[in-house]
Amino acid sequence: MLKKNFFFLLSFIIVAWGQPDVSPILSLLASSCGFAFFWLILLTFPSKKHRFILSTLWFTAVQAVQLSWLATPQFQGTYIFFVYGGLILLLGMQFGLFSLFFPKTTPLKAKQLLALAAIWTLIEWGRLFILCGFAWNPIGLSMTAFPVSSQLASVWGIFGLSFWTALVNLLVLQAMISWNVKRGAIAAGCFLFPFLFGFLHMLYHDSKEWNEKTHVALIQTSLLPNEKSFFYHQGHVYVPPYQQWEAILSYLEEKGALEVDLIAMPEYTVPFSANRKVYDYEDVRYVLESAWGPHDWSYLLNSRLAEKHEGNGKVRWYVSNLFWAQALADHYEAEVVIGLDDSDEEKGESYNAAFHLLPHKTTINRYEKRVLLPLAEYLPFSFLKPLVARYGITDFFTHGKESKVFEGAYPLNISICYEECFSHLIRQGKLGGAKLFINVTNDAWYPSSRLHLSHFSHGKLRAIENGVPLVRACNTGVTAAVDSLGRTVGQLGTENLEVQRGALITELHLYTYPTLYTYFGDYLIVALSFILILWAYIDHRKST
């Protein structure tokens, strides 16, 4: 009994905290033996009922730790505890159902090991199709504590890493159940293979000429929701939009951003929709001239960016957030990417969007967020409307319909916040010819949590999967630049990353390369999983 309790607790500690943003060492253990220790105890229970209950409780506890950032009621309200509790229980039950596929007799056959790894892979993949999709905490994330061990993602993506993690743990389990040198060597070899592949993969690409590069300025505003937008009864902490723009200009001027090629700003950079003309032009001109010196910005007073008001014999112009963004692009001679809400009055639709502006050009490109969060950004069921109305949520966004690649100095693809966690969506940008991924993010709704670190772990994987460099601009989060091998080449701050304010100016090489994941996407590991399950099923039928 003491041995069982020891392995139960040990496996829980290893897996629950075995994530790259928490502990690289525990991540290595989770990817090799953390699950194996639990399954070793599980197989001592002959009853399927007991296996289901034990597995459900264990994995629910694991997810309670890994998803602890979700239980942050400050801006979500107390209902988030019910969402959190329900979600971790559902994930626990998935793992409980998975335990029912373990055979009663040991040792396991090779086909059984492969089929079990395949079943879990399909369970994780299937989460993408429930509501907005659940992409957090695939077990393969434990393999990504170091760039060298992450490179296998370029072959078959994050779900391929989950398959490999499950397989290695099953091989270790097999070796513990019935030890011999051959089984130990196979388990060790499979654990070490991603490191060997990663070393050779990085060595090969590092030997290439990385000539093409760009200089980017990435803005992190670090404002909580009640600071960025006006909340009733909390107006004393609200930062007016003019001051928010003044801060952005000061961040760029402090870092000397005149030589940058691209300026990226976060999701929902400032209040008000992109095209709403709410700023008095004279006030805006004063702010711009205070930062940059005298300049005539009247050439931007066009119908897209400004609106003329006449009355009492006077003419006044009011301008939008896109006016500010275009002024930035023109002043710095740089492309600008900015996250802003937008609406289409003719269709009666509103969007969580990001815009791409070129210096001295009239065309402004817009990307609309495709993965919207239930309750906060879209309403999945009408009966929930009274619930969310209690928290002041009455308007919802419309889903974007497609990936977009925008042309400038180089083709770029934008994702907004949580979309970065979906491999198949980011892959569409690479297929469209993107040479740079840009993610604009706002993790401020879950302050003082681990969300921003977990989010960044997913972002680095998207770069590896597609062989494309990535930049991230966050309101709060990890504002950083990552090369096409998933290595961080620039980051705003070293501690307390989510509360850093300022501009990160860094050089980023635009070296890209083709990957198997880009060609085949998740279809490769999904097809392989179905084949392995069918193979094991046929073998089982023949033996019975």
Asked whether residue 167 falls in the same domain as residue 58, the answer is yes
pLDDT recorded at residue 390:
66
- pLDDT (tens digit, 9 = 90+) per residue, 479-509? 999 999 999 999 998 888 788 899 999 999 9
pTM of the shown model: 0.94
**Does position 233 have pLDDT exceeding 90, yes or no?**
no
Q: Where are the alpha helices (DSSP H) in 421-522?
A: 423-431, 451-466, 516-520
pLDDT interval class at 393 (50, 70, 90):
low
Per the structure, the count of domains in the chain is: 2
**516 falls within a domain:** no
- pLDDT (tens digit, 9 = 90+) per residue, 280-322? 999 999 999 999 999 999 999 998 999 999 888 788 999 999 9
Structure tokens, 343: 């609406």
Structure tokens, 176: 């513990």
Structure tokens, 379: 């309403």
Asked whether residue 182 falls in the same domain as residue 298, the answer is no
Percent of the chain with pLDDT over 90: 81
**Does position 391 have pLDDT exceeding 70, yes or no?**
no
Sign of the four-CA dihedral 499, 502, 506, 509? positive
DSSP code per residue over 237-280: G---HHHHHHHHHHHHHHHTGGG-SEEE--TT-SSS-TT---EE
Asked whether residue 324 falls in the same domain as residue 222, the answer is yes
pLDDT recorded at residue 394:
67
**153 falls within a domain:** yes
pLDDT recorded at residue 107:
82
Asked whether residue 293 falls in the same domain as residue 394, the answer is yes
- pLDDT (tens digit, 9 = 90+) per residue, 330-378? 999 999 999 999 998 888 899 999 999 999 999 999 999 999 988 778 8
10 Å Cβ neighbour count for 493?
Answer: 17
pLDDT recorded at residue 163:
99
Beta bridge partners of 306: 319
Asked whether residue 187 falls in the same domain as residue 286, the answer is no
| CATH code: domain of residue 395 | 3.60.110.10
- pLDDT (tens digit, 9 = 90+) per residue, 54-71? 999 999 999 999 999 999
Amino acid 131 reads: L
Q: How far apart are CA 207 and CA 212, in angstroms?
A: 15
pLDDT interval class at 105 (50, 70, 90):
confident
Asked whether residue 259 falls in the same domain as residue 199, the answer is no
**Does position 187 have pLDDT exceeding 80, yes or no?**
yes
Lowest mean pLDDT among 79-93, 249-263, 356-370, 408-422: 249-263
Q: How far apart are CA 236 and CA 40, in angstroms?
A: 56
pLDDT recorded at residue 196:
98
Q: What is the chain's mean pLDDT, rounded?
A: 93
Q: Which DSSP state fits 381?
A: S
Asked whether residue 177 falls in the same domain as residue 323, the answer is no
Percent of the chain with pLDDT over 70: 98
Domain, as residue range, for 125: 1-208+522-543
Q: How far apart are CA 149 and CA 200, in angstroms?
A: 11
Beta bridge partners of 415: 439
pLDDT recorded at residue 492:
94
**248 falls within a domain:** yes
